[in-house]
Amino acid sequence: MVRKSILNNGLRIVTEEMPHFHSVALGVWLNVGSRDEAGSENGLSHFLEHMAFKGTPRRTALDIAREIDQVGGHCNAFTSKEQTCFHGKVLAEQLPRLVDLLSDVFLNPLCQAEDLEKERRVILEEIYAQEDNPEDLVQVLFARSFWGDSALGRPVMGEAQQIAGVNRESLLAYRRAAYRPEETVVAAAGRVNHQELVDLMAPAFEGFENGVPPRARTASPTLPGVYRFPRELEQVYLCLGASGVGAGDPRRFAASMLQLILGGNMSSRLFQVIREQLGLAYSIYAHLTFFSDTGLLGISAGVSPKNLEALLAALGGELKKMAAEPVLASELEAARDYVRGSIWLAAEDCDHLMMRLAKNEIHFGHYIPMAEIVAGLMKVTGQEIMELARELCRPESWALTLLGPVADQDRQFSF
């Protein structure tokens, strides 16, 4: 059973009760991420996420760490382009304790100056670690190239030089602007009673008030083209992508099936052609991201420099084929079987259910039953996939980011 309550300050609480579960997953979601930062604020959403665990008036950082361990489950947080989430999963009888902990770190971080300096170093190490991971770095470089110096193009963690200059006053000023109950969703799934959760959450959040009006998200223009980032590596890491569809777009079902058939699993076209038939790469896959008003259809791979041109040619051939020929009935049926199974298997995980609850509320304002999602995907036709591919898979709309031994300026890359 799915239920929803709205507190007087606009904060929403949504639950999905699964009484046969022993556990419950809880998330406090703020519909604010790096996309909502001004250029001078880049990285502050992520910085605040880190500072939440450094201490509150009731708990030291060590107290928080010990309590997380004592509940016997897990508790963590993450920041994305559009959301910040503090979440945990525990046995059902530990829910009151988890509610108290997450409410405290979300609402009452001290953000002391000495803790800020320590966490600044931690975040800088996180940024440097990303610099040493080419699979992650190529995604950051792609976003920066494709969306330029816009909100979607800036890295979630911020730039090292900018993070080095963050001070307590600017961090707290951004927090006052960004943390608003009207932009907050509390989601829980598993063995949870809705009214009991409301009774636990309401006292903690009753003093949480809306400050300045929310910021409007602006569209980010795209910059197609080829972007090279020379680096001494054994492989070339590439990300090829184009604008997709937004989270609320009716074509999201067709987009999901397109991504799956193109490169979403081991029987997908890219995996079978580029890895199995041609032996050009060990890792290649297509990925799909939904934002509130737009999206991204991307392809990522790692390839030996000598195989790069052959891989790009094969990629281009598969994209053209996707846009020119209807998907075979057998291929579509296999994709339907895969997606049906993966969705229902994920429904046995309360973490996954909690995330679905929150994202449905954030993007649609209401719950969308799992059966409705499956039905929407099952209705997608080969013709619809081809028509969407014609729109999304136009070479002039795509950006290609190359990280590795690609310094030869005379070498032309096409796909």
- Asked whether residue 174 carries a pLDDT value surpassing 80, the answer given is yes
121-134, pLDDT tens digit by residue?
A: 999 999 999 999 99
Interhelix angle 252-263/329-346, rounded to 10 degrees, is: 110
The full set of domains in the chain, from first to last, is 2-205 (3.30.830.10), 225-404 (3.30.830.10)
Q: What is the Cα–Cα distance from 93 to 81, expressed in whole angstroms?
A: 33
- Asked whether residue 409 carries a pLDDT value surpassing 60, the answer given is no
By C-alpha distance, which of 393, 264, 242 is closest to 325? 393
Q: Give the pTM.
A: 0.96
By C-alpha distance, which of 360, 176, 337, 160 is closest to 264? 337
Q: Work out the average pLDDT over 312-317.
A: 95
- Asked whether residue 146 carries a pLDDT value surpassing 60, the answer given is yes
Q: What is the Cα–Cα distance from 319 to 332, expressed in whole angstroms?
A: 17
Confidence category of residue 72, pLDDT binned at 50, 70, 90:
confident
Q: Work out the average pLDDT over 331-354.
A: 96
- For the chain, give the percent of residues with pLDDT over 90: 93
Q: Work out the average pLDDT over 136-164.
A: 97
117 catalytic per annotation: no
Q: Work out the average pLDDT over 355-365.
A: 98
Catalytic residue among 16, 37, 41, 49: 49
Q: Work out the average pLDDT over 31-46.
A: 97
- For the chain, give the percent of residues with pLDDT over 70: 98
Cα 155 → chain centroid: 13
CB 112 within 8 A of CB 60: no
Mean pLDDT of the chain: 95
Phi, psi of 331 (to 5 degrees): -70, -40
Q: Work out the average pLDDT over 258-263.
A: 98
Residue 211, pLDDT score: 82
Interhelix angle 370-378/252-263, rounded to 10 degrees, is: 70
